[in-house]
Amino acid sequence: MKNKVTGFCLFLLLPVAIACRKDRVVVVEFEPNRVFAYNVGKMAEQPMDKAIEQTSAALEVLFGTPDEPKIPEFILDDDELAALVSLEKLDHASGAANETGRGIFRERCANCHGLTGDGRGTAAALLNPYPRDYRLGRFKFKSTPIGTKPTKQDIAYLIREGIHGTSMVKIPELTESDVDALTDYVVYLSWRGEVERALLLECEAIYFADGESLYDPSIKEADPEAFEEQWELIEDYTVEVAEQWLAAADRVIDMPSRDPALVPDTIQEVLAAMNSSGDSPIKDSVSRGRSLFASEKASCSRCHGLAGRGDGQTNDYDEWTTDWTKKFGIDPEDKDSHIPLIARGAFPVRKVSPRNFQEGVFRAGSSPEQLYQRIALGIEGTPMPAAAIEPTEVWDLVNFVRSLVLPAEEKPL
């Protein structure tokens, strides 16, 4: 009876409580990477609450908050590093969704990518593929090799055009200055997220129970040298990730020139050439591409299947999944072992399928140059490797892959 009465009173109080919350200034914070922290904690056999607390405190000094982004001061002191992202653009992209002149990330992207760029927005769990978690610092569709960052142009292109065949559709309302600002903001979130991982991993060897710490400003006065050492480590990781992003522009692969009579601009032209009678350079190229596709050298058919229907090797996971499973000795098939990680924000594992070319959906564009990049460079984070073949052979594969696309009227609904 007593409980019922208390329950009733609480019910009456509820509207008041909500009204009070409305008046209070809500401080929006970045959610820590609890999945990664949990796995590091298990490795280190120690609780991670101090590690998370100190990492978050350091990150706030470096990068600010979702409402007030910052660029680390020592980055701004260095002309080259300071050019990586602009505070003005971060300001434009960040902030509350209804703030005038600000807030486009929260308005347009955070539903899927999450406030921290963890790919865990409110709509994300039901999507396939899952939205990108930027915090790993790995990106799929770019003009640079696996293991290097994308250029800002690569990211801007995807924001402008969307990613075909996924839930990330093109948003026509975005202006060029929105796209620019969002590009910097993606780099910023990814940079922050990678530094967070590095610091959490560093905590593996820090024994908090013995009074050691990663970042503890309260020792500044008593032991300035020890504090200096802590800060230097944090600076080093922050600079290292920034340098990787800045290096991307120099890693863009050369695009060999293309003869449109051999590698036509559109898929329709390839299909028309295949349907025409008689020989043509395009047909010869497609035929060379077909042999190469099934050859041991390129071994495309191993995953994509001989007919390119995506029905070869379909048992793989992408690296956003293996990052919290295999990498920490967790079997992606052993669902029970995932429970503590799912409780901390991981999503149920899913396999990654090789593309079915008949559908004609190429996520990052279907122009010859875009397909050249995908084949020559591979797709980072997925099983799709970079092909170790000559440029002319890549063009033959581009033609072959495009020749498999079913004309619109033959595509299944």
Going from the C-alpha of 109 to that of each of 132, 186, 363, the distances in angstroms are 11, 10, 18
Omega prior to 129 cis, within 30 of 0: yes
Q: Which of 52, 214, 298, 341 binds ligand HEC (CB under 6 A)?
A: 298
Interaction between residue 189 and ligand HEC (CB under 6 A): no
The beta-carbon contacts of 346-350 under 8 Å, at least 24 apart in sequence, are: 346/35, 347/120, 347/124, 347/125, 347/130, 349/317, 349/321, 349/325, 350/128, 350/129, 350/130, 350/317, 350/321
* 8 A C-beta contact, residue 164 and residue 73: no
Which residue, 327 or 351, has its beta carbon nearer to ligand HEC? 351
Interaction between residue 167 and ligand HEC (CB under 6 A): yes
Which residue, 57 or 361, has its beta carbon nearer to ligand HEC? 361
Interaction between residue 362 and ligand HEC (CB under 6 A): yes
Rg of the Cα atoms in the chain? 25
* 8 A C-beta contact, residue 129 and residue 140: no
| CA 194/CA 84 separation, integer angstroms | 15
Minimum gap (Å) between residue 5 Cβ and ligand HEC? 46
List all residues 6 or more positions away from 402 whose beta carbon is below 8 Å from its beta carbon. 267, 270, 271, 357, 366, 368, 371
The region of 58-66, 70-78, 123-131, 230-238 touching ligand HEC under the rule CB under 6 A is 123-131
Minimum gap (Å) between residue 117 Cβ and ligand HEC? 9
Minimum gap (Å) between residue 257 Cβ and ligand HEC? 20
Q: Give CA 349 to chain center in angstroms.
A: 16
| CA 324/CA 133 separation, integer angstroms | 12
Q: Which of 57, 61, 127, 274 binds ligand HEC (CB under 6 A)?
A: 127
Interaction between residue 112 and ligand HEC (CB under 6 A): yes
Which residue, 38 or 395, has its beta carbon nearer to ligand HEC? 395
Q: Which of 303, 330, 377, 404 binds ligand HEC (CB under 6 A)?
A: 303
Which residue, 41 or 89, has its beta carbon nearer to ligand HEC? 89
| CA 304/CA 87 separation, integer angstroms | 44
Interaction between residue 300 and ligand HEC (CB under 6 A): yes
Interaction between residue 384 and ligand HEC (CB under 6 A): yes
Give the length of the chain: 413
Q: Give me the phi and psi of 296, to 5 degrees please.
A: -65, -35
Interaction between residue 187 and ligand HEC (CB under 6 A): no
Across 199-212, b (16+ Cβ under 10 Å) vs e yields bbbbbeebebeeee
Among 404, 386, 409, residue whose Cα is nearest residue 299? 386
Q: Which of 37, 59, 75, 155 binds ligand HEC (CB under 6 A)?
A: 155
Which of the residues 44 through 103 are near ligand HEC (CB under 6 A)? none
Q: What angle do CA 203, 207, 213 make, to 5 degrees?
A: 65
| CA 94/CA 364 separation, integer angstroms | 26
The region of 53-61, 222-230, 231-239, 379-387 touching ligand HEC under the rule CB under 6 A is 379-387
Minimum gap (Å) between residue 339 Cβ and ligand HEC? 24
Q: Which of 387, 395, 399, 405 binds ligand HEC (CB under 6 A)?
A: 387
Q: Which of 158, 214, 242, 273 binds ligand HEC (CB under 6 A)?
A: 158
Minimum gap (Å) between residue 391 Cβ and ligand HEC? 13
Minimum gap (Å) between residue 26 Cβ and ligand HEC? 23
Interaction between residue 385 and ligand HEC (CB under 6 A): yes
Which residue, 187 or 234, has its beta carbon nearer to ligand HEC? 187
Minimum gap (Å) between residue 176 Cβ and ligand HEC? 13
Minimum gap (Å) between residue 154 Cβ and ligand HEC? 7
Q: Which residues bind ligand HEC (CB under 6 A)?
A: 108-109, 111-113, 123, 127, 129, 131-132, 139-141, 155, 158-159, 163, 166-168, 171, 182, 186, 298-300, 302-304, 313, 352, 354-355, 362-364, 371, 374-375, 379, 382-385, 387, 397, 401
